[in-house]
Amino acid sequence: MRHTSLLLTALLSFALLPGCIELTRQPASPDAGTPDGVDTAAPEIEEAGPQANVRLVHAASDVGPVDVYAAGGDVPLYSGLGYTQVSDWLTVDAGDYVFELRTEGADPTEPPIFVSALISLPEGPSTVVAAGLADGSEDDALRLVPVQEDWGAPRAARARVRLVHAGVDAPELTVRGLEGADFNVERFDSADAEGVVIPTAGGDRIQLLDGNDLLTVFTAPPFADGDAVLLVATGSLESLAREEEGFKLVAVGSQGALGEIRQDPQVFTVHGARDAGALENCTGTGETAVAANIDYGQIQSDFVSPGEYRFEVHTYPSGCTNVLNEGGTASGPLEAGERYMLLLSGEVTPVENEPFIQVASFKEQFTLDDADVAQVRFVHGASYTQIYIGNVLDGEIAEENVFTDGIAWRAESVEVALPEGSYVLGAADANGEFAPPLSPIVTFDVNASPGARAWGIVTGDPVIDDDDDEFLQLMVVNTSVPDWEVALVDVN
């Protein structure tokens, strides 16, 4: 093993070159003098052997900032390298090495938190990726994954990208959307060394699949012409994309870190228009359907690139050509790493002052750090002006049991924390002056479970006629599972 060479790299003086650090020898001072009896002939200098350039990418989501050592060394090669960060290049003799990781600032005499297996660094550039979990099992334990950067030839107006799979719970990934055929990457491995070309303008959609099942999508940012970019997949699919440990890509160019790429916004269309049949929700006339053949009480999800949209509701099947809400409904900005509910509400055949069908967008931003209560937001999706929501006791909603301010149509309440238990929820008229106790228009029996994160949506029409199939219901959208679920609760 070549530990000594790597240690000397850290201990001796360095000369900074573009993109790397290279070991240099220090000449003797001309004024130092010559001791008696010393041979003053110039010593022979050995030619340097094959050189390797190496850098480290920290992609281990449960490991904090670390200092990186060569085994047995007492000076860190890299200090304070945090999650998703990329070190500078370091030039060393090509050969085999063992690396040690210590918590940032730890004394070098303290036992390391991790000692790598033997890592071979051949001549040329290699990136070493710290992947896995510090407290993982054999399958996902912390490890170093070496990636030799032996890229294919540059292409005009293109960059080359190569996926490194460091996700802790993602299966073997099928990659789609880059130029050329789909390809697979196993966990803790990397794609072919040549890399796949991608236009440098940005905007291409990179799909990651488990076989034929879509897992997530990323929108590529702009890259520099001719650059060679490692896309290091890291984090957990079980975590939310907006969480620090959520699944994402870390883009690493030839000159260093290019930033994190969060998952595309995921939109969940919820059909809450009780008088409508099957519908399509589209990003525009003749454009992309994010939900199709969706009936009342159902939910469908899709990914869209970050940006703003005007969502149109169409009858199904129309291929996004038979728009109901002329001009669409503005979504507001949909951000990478976030999830949104797109609620279809209103009436396809409105009467008098009833609202026409529209799309209301709501960002999933529930509190995540309180697993002892149910976090609930209430949404007014019924054909009515304004409502209050509260807990009904003895047939009325006392002032201390009113959970919300008046909620207008297509609006949501503030978040309400409900302790575990059973509740009778009531919707009360909020058109007049607030004068509790309030008399509920309707009531619903619900249970609050610890850790739940849900929207409670009042849907339907409060006007009772000969056909009451469109009367009020409570639609509960559970966001605490990866594939959101909808439950319908009838009025008492």
Question: Residues 40-93: pLDDT tens digits?
Answer: 455 555 567 899 999 999 999 999 999 999 998 999 999 999 999 999 999 999
Q: Which helix (H) or strand (E) holds 376?
A: strand 373-382
Name the burial class of residue 475, with classes exposed (0-12), middle (13-18) and buried (19+) by CB atoms within 10 angstroms of its CB.
buried
Pick from 473, 460, 382: nearest CA to 425: 473
Neighbours of 287 (CB within 10 A): 12
Torsion angle in degrees (nearest 10) through CA of 265, 270, 271, 272 = -130
- DSSP 3-state helix, strand, coil percentages of the chain (rounded to 5)? 0, 45, 50
Are both 1-22+50-148 and 149-263 of the same fold? yes
- In CATH, the number for domain 149-263 is 2.60.40
| Cα gap 26→45, rounded to integer Å | 12
Q: Which helix (H) or strand (E) holds 296?
A: none
| Cα gap 199→306, rounded to integer Å | 18
Helical ranges in 79-123 per DSSP H: none
User: Contacts for 132-135 with beta carbons within 8 Å, 24 or more apart?
Assistant: 132/60, 132/166, 132/168, 132/188, 133/60, 133/61, 133/62, 133/63, 133/168, 134/60, 134/62, 134/63, 135/62
| Cα gap 201→30, rounded to integer Å | 55
Tell me the per-residue pLDDT of 223-262, one tens digit each, with 9 for 90 and over.
Answer: 999 999 999 999 999 999 999 999 999 999 999 999 999 9
Query: What is each CA distance from 382 to 198, 310, 361, 389, 408, in whole angstroms?
Result: 47, 22, 15, 13, 10
- In CATH, the number for domain 264-365 is 2.60.40
The gap from C-alpha 82 to its chain's centroid, in whole angstroms, comes to: 18
Q: pTM (2 decimals)?
A: 0.88
Identify residue 186 by its one-letter amino acid code: E
Torsion angle in degrees (nearest 10) through CA of 118, 175, 337, 259 = 50
- Domains of the chain, residue spans: 1-22+50-148, 149-263, 264-365, 367-492
CATH class for the domain made up of 1-22+50-148: mainly beta
Return the CATH fold of 367-492: Immunoglobulin-like (2.60.40)
| Cα gap 165→140, rounded to integer Å | 12
Place of tokens 């790429």: 261
Instruction: Kindly give the confidence (pLDDT) of every residue in the chain, 492 residues in length, as a single tens digit, with 9 standing for 90 and above.
Output: 333 333 333 333 333 233 333 332 223 333 444 344 444 455 555 567 899 999 999 999 999 999 999 998 999 999 999 999 999 999 999 999 999 999 999 999 999 999 999 999 999 999 999 999 998 888 999 999 999 999 999 999 999 999 999 999 999 999 999 998 999 999 999 999 999 999 999 999 999 999 999 999 999 999 999 999 999 999 999 999 999 999 999 999 999 999 999 999 999 999 999 989 999 999 999 999 999 999 999 999 999 999 999 999 999 999 999 999 999 999 999 999 999 999 999 988 888 778 889 999 999 999 998 999 999 999 999 988 899 999 999 999 999 999 999 999 999 999 999 999 999 999 999 999 999 999 999 999 999 999 999 999 999 887 766 555 678 999 999 999 989 999 999 999
